[in-house]
Amino acid sequence: MARRSETKPDGTADGVQEPVDIDTLGLDAEAAQDIAIARKDEGRPEKATHALASMLGPAFVAAVAYVDPGNVAANLTSGAKYGYMLVWVLVVANCMSVLIQYQAAKLGVVTGKSLPQILGERMGAAGRFLFFMQAEVIAIATDLAEVIGGAIALNLLFGIPMLLGGCIIGAVSTLLLFLQGGETHKIFERLVIGLLLVITFGFIAGLFMDPPNPLAVAEGLVPRFSDGASVLMAASMLGATVMPHAIYLHSTLVNDHFGTGVDRPSVPEMMHGSRIDVVWALAIAGSVNIALLVIAANSLHGMGGTDTIEGAQHAITQVLGPAVGTIFSIGLLASSLSSTSVGTYAGSEIMKGLLRVKVPMWACRIVTLVPALVVLAFANNPTEALIIGQVVLSIGIPFAIIPLMRYTHDREIMGKYADGTVKHIVCLAVCAVIVLLNLVLIVLTAMGKA
């Protein structure tokens, strides 16, 4: 119960608890009060605004994983085959991704460590090595889809052979990675965010050329299926939503965002900033994915040959014109460059956290790039590798989200910021749905039905 005390000369009451504003909702009472006190100490509203702006960025870097070439192919195929029917799947998937990415950011903010670091501290040498091996396979599968997507984009734009295109993507993304870390880390973030904006424009341009019927899009928000194949498509879209490397990396990015010797905001303020960062970043990524499905449903529905990225681009060019087709290819190229850079960055952090060794970024780049170049050199249809890559990613998802949900509920790790019972139940439910759908996708793929 608040006690009454005399009013001080400045008009405030001594001993009366500072009220908590709406921006602190979602935190426990003690953490929310920490934010209120921190803001009172800041003195000026514009200083708080500046502090919030300084915390934005990590989620936007992680968000490029949600608009990689694999997702592009899946969304275009869904829209072309089923129209607007599965729009609701992407909406649900995006809501799940907001929760999971915030949990990853929260873990990094509170502990000051990445998820791989915490895993490495709780495993023996053999466990760390085995966990690293599966994570490295996931990194290779991720890079496979992203390099292939970039090679396809260069082929569509300039007629460059696929293998040479893959080499160009590898070289440019490696140069981008040299900016990661240290004093140039902010430059890396800004470049990746810039590429995300190019992706956004490149993939939604078709909506302006041929606007969809809003009522038809709204009908797609009603959960339903048409047949067993549509259920499988929904399972693959939901199951492939969460990218393991985005989870590992986001818990690192929130700390790498602040260089050495830079004053960091308080933990409650960083959590508040991370929440806004995640919502905005995933809103953009989710909007891009939904836009791709809507474009395909509105302009490509029923057309043949749209089950590959090349076929979809040719169909877009045919229906919406060469200008939109070119803009789409530029968006695909930006998607590849940004997502492959972020994927390699994640692989480096996984290695450092689990094996406790720091390997040069260029070495990590070579490890994940070579398999993609081999596929480009010998595969008859490299686009098929995107499907295989999604299945491999599905295998690695439980290894990322299960420890994440466990650690964010552990008071020994998170202290007063540990998830409460209700939130933990929600997180476990989301985790169970994603894992189950990925298991279904893996089984059906093994049976030849995917």
Q: How far apart are CA 439 and CA 398, in angstroms?
A: 10
Q: What are phi and psi of 13, to 5 degrees?
A: -95, 125
What local confidence, expressed as pLDDT, does residue 164 receive? 95
What local confidence, expressed as pLDDT, does residue 417 receive? 94
Mean pLDDT score, 329-334: 92
Q: How far apart are CA 170 and CA 173, in angstroms?
A: 5
58-446 is classed CATH 1.10.645.10: no
pLDDT tens-digit map of 344-365: 888 888 888 998 888 787 888 8
Range of lowest pLDDT (21-25, 117-121, 144-148)? 21-25
Mean pLDDT score, 274-298: 93
* pLDDT above 90 (res 73): no
For the chain, the maximum distance between any two Cα atoms, rounded to a whole number of angstroms, is 82
Mean pLDDT score, 41-68: 69
Q: What is the pTM of this model?
A: 0.83
DSSP 274-331: HHHHHHHHHHHHHHHHHHHHHHIIIIITT-TTTTSHHHHHHHHHHHH-HHHHHHHHHH
Range of lowest pLDDT (27-41, 118-132, 278-292, 306-320)? 27-41
- Residue scoring higher pLDDT (380 or 17): 380
* pLDDT above 90 (res 384): no
What local confidence, expressed as pLDDT, does residue 9 receive? 42
What local confidence, expressed as pLDDT, does residue 15 receive? 42
What local confidence, expressed as pLDDT, does residue 52 receive? 66
pLDDT bracket for residue 168 (50, 70, 90): very high
- Residue scoring higher pLDDT (415 or 28): 415
DSSP 205-232: HHHHHSPPPHHHHHHTTS---SSHHHHH
| Residue pair 36/19 in contact by the 8 Å Cβ criterion | yes
What local confidence, expressed as pLDDT, does residue 239 receive? 61
- Domain segments of the chain as ranges: 58-446
pLDDT tens-digit map of 208-254: 888 999 999 999 999 988 877 787 788 777 766 678 888 998 999 88
pLDDT bracket for residue 103 (50, 70, 90): very high
Q: How far apart are CA 59 and CA 274, in angstroms?
A: 8
* pLDDT above 90 (res 412): yes
| Residue pair 72/152 in contact by the 8 Å Cβ criterion | no
Mean pLDDT score, 27-38: 50
What local confidence, expressed as pLDDT, does residue 231 receive? 79
Phi-psi region for residue 120, left (φ > 0), alpha (ψ -120 to 50) or beta?
alpha
